[in-house]
């Protein structure tokens, strides 16, 4: 138990190290002078020189890297060029909407996708299965903004039931917070749900073919009990693992959804940073998001190794 946890925790270090190297080298290895690219088209030579000095681009590469990683380890993600403020603070200001949308989407998707996948696997090959699978292929082929604007036109503009866009903090107004989250959650949830339903079905099909399922049925257990207590419980490890790995995809969807609904989250921060060529912010967002992804997956793996003694890597 102990050595496994230690090894699993240590395994996150090379991954984050690689992310840091990628982010670091991306700017330095890009074609042309990075300082000139960041300064933009209207920059004077003095502007370019100032940016070069600000980011330490005039120093040797290795020196730059060591200084930068040293700062990272103290939680300092650098300073925004455009706003002249610490990136860590900028990210923390924008984290609430993104976190709220990600969590509500995940809950919405799991609530619908898991039962759908279980039923599809249970009645594999039937019209129920084909309908669920057909709809799920459709749902993850339709672009997020088409679903988003469809819901906005229907529920917000025509029926006037929900706000068109924007975000309200949970601490300011819990009702407004919930009302603003409904449409974005449905938009992204439909896509994520489709993916999750497919995975649930595939995993459940594997488990349903196992001997212990036949035994459970032969004992005369009621079908819901077999499906949920015997099959779903055993299928849950791969399902949850896939949910963890799917976070990368979810965050991609969050960026687009935030743009459709004008939600001031991490996605909007990134797009603003790209339009202003504010590379320290882009770099900070990537590191923070990758860090969250690695930590969530670490937590999932460790939880399972605690719950299921068979899991050892």
Partner 1 sequence: MSAILEASAVPTASRRFRPGRMLQRHPFPVVGGVLLGLLVLSALAAPWIAPHDPIEMNIIDRLQPPGGDYLFGTDAYGRDLFSRVLHGGRVSILIGFTVAAASTVIGLLIGVVAGYFRLADAIIMRVMDGLMAIPGILLAIALMSLTRASLWVVVVAITIPEIPRVVRLVRAVVLSVREQAYIQAATAIGTRFPRLMRLHILPSTFAPLIVQATYICASAVLTESYLSFLGVGTPPEIPSWGNIIAEGRLYVQLAFWNILFPGIALALMVLSVNVLGDGLRDALDPRLARRL
Residues that bind partner 1 (CB under 8 A): 14-19, 21-23, 26-27, 30-32, 34, 37, 134, 137-138, 140-146, 149, 152-153, 157, 198, 201-202, 205-206, 248-249, 251-252, 255-256, 259-260, 270-271, 273-275, 277, 279, 282-283, 285-286, 289-290, 293-294
The least distance separating partner 1 from the CB of residue 45, rounded to whole angstroms, comes to: 19
CB of 270 to partner 1, least distance (A): 6
Give the Cα-Cα-Cα angle 90, 296, 283 (nearest 5 degrees).
Answer: 35
Phi/psi of residue 45, nearest 5 degrees:
-60, -35
Tokens of 255: 């960026």
Query: How far apart (Å, rounded) are the C-alpha atoms in residues 153 and 158?
Result: 6
Cα torsion through 149, 182, 192, 226, rounded to 10: -140
**Rounded distance, CA 113 to CA 91, Å?**
31
CA atoms within 13 A on the CB side of 125: 1
| Residue closer to partner 1 (CB basis): 68 or 293 | 293
Closer by beta carbon to partner 1, 221 or else 301: 301
Distance of CA 46 to the CA centre of its chain: 40
Least distance between partner 1 and beta carbon 201 (Å): 8
Cβ at position 149, least distance to partner 1 in Å: 5
Q: Which is nearer to partner 1, 82 or 177 (CB)?
A: 82
If the CB atoms of residues 224 and 252 are measured against partner 1, the closer one turns out to be 252
> Which token pair is 209?
């073919």
Q: How far is the CB of 256 from partner 1 (least distance, A)?
A: 5
Decide whether 110 or 281 has the Cβ nearer to partner 1: 281
Instruction: Return the DSSP state at 228.
Output: I
Q: Minimum distance from CB of 209 to partner 1 (Å)? A: 9
CB closer to partner 1 out of 136 and 185? 136
When the beta carbons of 167 and 279 are compared against partner 1, the nearer one is: 279
Minimum gap (Å) between residue 152 Cβ and partner 1: 7
User: What is the Cα–Cα distance from 307 to 240, expressed in whole angstroms?
Assistant: 13
In the complex, minimum distance from the CB of residue 188 to partner 1, in angstroms, rounded to a whole number: 12
Nearer to partner 1, 41 or 172 (CB): 41
Letter string b/e over residues 94-110, b meaning 16 or more CB atoms within 10 A of that residue's CB = bebbbebbbebbbebbb
253 CA to centre of own chain: 8
How many other CB atoms are found less than 10 A from the CB of residue 8?
16
**Residue whose C-alpha is closest to residue 282's, from 71, 36, 62, 77:** 77
175, two tokens? 């009702």
CA 1 to chain centre: 29
């Amino acid at each position: 138990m102990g050595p496994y946890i230690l090894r699993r925790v240590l395994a996150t270090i090379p991954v984050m190290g690689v992310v840091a190297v990628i982010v670091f080298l991306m700017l330095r290895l890009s074609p042309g002078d990075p300082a000139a690219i960041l300064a933009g088209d209207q920059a004077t030579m003095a502007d370019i020189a100032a940016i070069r000095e600000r980011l330490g681009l005039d120093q040797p590469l290795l020196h730059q890297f060591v200084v930068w990683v040293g700062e990272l380890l103290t939680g300092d993600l650098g300073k925004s060029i455009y706003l002249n403020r610490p990136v860590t603070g900028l990210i923390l200001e924008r984290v609430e909407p993104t976190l709220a949308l990600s969590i509500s989407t995940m809950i919405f998707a799991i609530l619908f996708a898991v039962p759908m996948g279980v039923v599809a696997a249970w009645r594999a090959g039937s019209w129920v299965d084909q309908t669920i699978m057909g709809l799920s292929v459709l749902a993850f082929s339709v672009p997020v903004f088409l679903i988003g604007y469809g819901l906005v036109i229907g529920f917000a503009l025509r029926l006037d039931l929900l706000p068109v866009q924007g975000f309200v903090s949970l601490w300011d107004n819990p009702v407004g917070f919930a009302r603003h989250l409904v449409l974005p959650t449905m938009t992204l949830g439909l896509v994520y749900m489709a993916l999750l339903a497919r995975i649930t079905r595939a995993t459940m099909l594997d488990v349903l073919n196992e001997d212990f399922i036949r035994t459970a049925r032969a004992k005369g257990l009621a079908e819901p009990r077999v499906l949920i207590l015997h099959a779903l419980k055993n299928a849950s490890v791969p399902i949850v693992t896939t949910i963890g790995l799917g976070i990368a995809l979810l965050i991609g969807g969050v960026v687009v959804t935030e743009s459709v609904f004008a939600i001031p989250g991490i996605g909007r921060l990134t797009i603003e940073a790209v339009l202003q060529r504010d590379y320290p912010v882009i770099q900070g967002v990537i590191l923070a998001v990758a860090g969250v992804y690695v930590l969530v997956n670490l937590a999932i793996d460790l939880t399972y190794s605690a719950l299921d003694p068979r899991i050892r890597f």
